[in-house]
Chain A
């Protein structure tokens, strides 16, 4: 069963606008029948999509440094969503 888990940022993460946010995640698949096609990383403020950080076809990527724009509104309700696309062979 394929799954992806965001390991950073966490609830204790605080980053300054203009600074760098380190995003890390783990991914697991069934190696015999599945392969990772890519990842979509998005920034949410509350339940609203704020911006798309990265859309990549690199299935080996497990971390990404996001440069937070200096004009980004300060808030405590930001979340990162990572969507992994998996290809399954019959």
Chain B
């Protein structure tokens, strides 16, 4: 008969700690401040209350990131401060029906002078002209707002006017004598620009377009064969390693066999979808272009859409006028040698309705690690190739644009993504996250690496 017995053991003593404490924010809180600041702060006032009154008499003598950031309703401001140091933003207001009356004198650099995101707000400015570098002079996202400007700028600015309003008219007579990146940035419907200014410096606007696999080419049904006279004939032996074409790896390739005069792959998009670009990655430059056909029927009616040249050992993007396509075919006309294509995808390119914000950055990550010897000498080791890293900040985007970025993030995270900036191609190494900055308005950062 079996019998049972027990043995046991205790662990070491260990610790259980208390959970973090939470603090509740309250409504109807009043703030009365009379501090004098002598050090840098990131935000001086950050108020998100209803019906709050701010009375200020402080004197600031050091750099701050934001002087006032108010997201309130029916709030009045009375200001008479003097600033004599750099600030990133002097006023940042997200209010309704708020009026401004300003008489400050600014004598140092700052990033944004006025950032207003309000409705029906009049601007009445008699401020003395900024005498130092600023990144954005005016950034307005308002409805039915009139601008009347007569300032003279003598220093560099990044954006002179940035407006994202409907039915907005511009009437400008400024003279700019320094470089700006973006002089007028308008993304409106029925917007009229009447410009008589004199320019004597360079401006540039980046091409801000994302190309990604937004229809999931990996999961599509693919047919192999050839197209002659607009008709498709199936023959699975004409192309080998079909899955390598959409495996998110440029190290594996698909082979279009040279033993056949024509070899093609047909993608079934399930329904007709708008397509306006094709991207391929080849390690060997193609001797002949790839012919691209489309049809709304699997077996017949194929017509030529465009031809793709794999002209470099890299990503090659071919844009074309958007077409609704159900069946998309890529065919090689062989000339003696097998054709190898490492990656291929296509879709509808995505150009955000707003440009990324000032403060977006470019950096080089050398992927170095530092080790220290016993004698204290430091040695640097490069663990990977140097990466170019772009951080595109979108500080205030709509819910519709957020959904488009989420689609991009869901389908491109750690997968192939081409961002068309200065001809360089990028990958999205981490999911995109969002912060709600106002009702149905969001901010986000798009991190891209080479």
- Determine if chain A interacts with chain B: yes
| CA A76 to CA B10, docked complex, whole Å | 15
Q: Which residue of A lies closest to B1 (CB)?
A: A90
Q: Tell me if B8 and A84 are in contact (CB < 8 A).
A: yes
Interface stretch, picked from B15-23, B253-261, B306-314, B399-407, is B15-23
Chain A interface, >50% SS class: strand
- B19-A17 in contact (CB<8A): yes
The reply to whether the CB of B379 lies closer than 8 angstroms to some CB of chain A is no
In the complex, which of the residues B4, B6, B11, B16 has the most CB atoms of chain A within 10 Å of its own CB atom?
A: B16
Nearest neighbor of A45 in chain B, beta-carbon distance: B16
**CB-contacts of A36-90 with B (<8 A):** 37, 44, 68, 70, 72-90
Task: State the Cβ distance, B280 to closest chain A Cβ, in Å.
Answer: 46
The answer to whether A15 touches B17 (Cβ under 8 A) is yes
Complex alpha-carbon distance, A89 and B6, angstroms: 14
**Nearest CB in chain B to that of A50: its residue:** B16
For chain B, residues 12 to 70, give those with C-beta under 8 angstroms from any C-beta of chain A.
Answer: 12-20
| With contact pairs A17-B17, A78-B15 given, residues A6 and B10 touching in the complex (Cβ less than 8 Å) | yes
Q: Do A8 and B7 touch (CB < 8 A)?
A: no
Task: From known contacts A88-B2, A89-B2, infer whether A75 and B7 are also in contact, taking CB-CB under 8 Å.
Answer: no
Identify the interface centre among B2, B10, B11: most chain A CB within 10 Å of its CB.
Answer: B11
Give the shortest distance, in Å, between B230 (CB) and chain A (any CB): 61
- Considering the chains assembled together, what is the distance between the CA atoms of A85 and B3 in angstroms? 10
Q: Are B16 and A2 in contact (CB under 8 A)?
A: no
Give the interface size bracket for A toward B. Answer: 35 or more
Contact of A11 (CB < 8 Å), options: B2, B14, B18: B14
Are B16 and A78 closer than 8 Å at their CB atoms? yes
Knowing A70-B19, A90-B2 are in contact, say whether A3-B14 is a contact too (CB < 8 A): no
Residues of chain B contacted by A83 (CB below 8 angstroms): 6-8
Query: Is there contact, CB below 8 Å, between A86 and B7?
Result: yes
* Assembly CA distance A82 to B9 (angstroms): 6
How far is B1's CA from A73's CA once the two chains are assembled, in angstroms? 46
CB distance from B12 to the nearest CB of A (A): 4
- A84-B6, A87-B2, A90-B1 known; A16 and B12 CB under 8 Å? no
Q: How far is the CB of A45 from chain B (nearest CB, A)?
A: 9
Quick one: given A17-B19, A18-B19, are A88 and B13 in contact (CB under 8 Å)?
Answer: no
B11–A80 contact, CB under 8 A?
Answer: yes
- Interface check B374, CB cutoff 8 A: no
Measured CB to CB, the closest approach of chain B to A13, in angstroms, equals 4
A47 CB to closest chain B CB (Å) equals 10
Chain B residues, CB < 8 A from A13: 12, 14-15
Complex: A72 Cα to B18 Cα, angstroms: 8
Taking a contact as CB atoms under 8 Å apart, the answer to whether A14 and B14 are in contact is yes
In the complex, the answer to whether B11 meets A74 with C-beta atoms within 8 Å is: no
A86 to B4, alpha carbons, bound, how many Å? 5
B contact residues around A76 at 8 Å (CB)? 13-15
| Chain A neighbourhood of B11, CB < 8 A | 6, 8-10, 23, 79-82
Contacts of B8 in A (CB 8 A): 4, 81-84
In the complex, what's the smallest C-beta–C-beta distance from A73 to chain B, in angstroms? 8
Cα–Cα distance between A25 and B9 once the two chains are bound (Å) = 9
Q: List 22 A-B contacts (CB under 8 A).
A: A2-B5, A6-B9, A9-B12, A10-B11, A11-B12, A12-B14, A13-B12, A13-B15, A15-B14, A72-B16, A74-B16, A76-B13, A78-B14, A80-B10, A82-B9, A83-B8, A84-B7, A85-B5, A86-B4, A86-B7, A87-B2, A90-B1
Question: Interface of A with B (CB < 8 Å)?
Answer: 2-6, 8-18, 23, 25, 37, 44, 68, 70, 72-90
| Interface set of B (CB-CB < 8 Å, partner A) | 1-20
- What 6 pairs between A and B have smallest CB-CB spacing? A13-B14, A83-B8, A6-B11, A11-B12, A9-B14, A80-B11
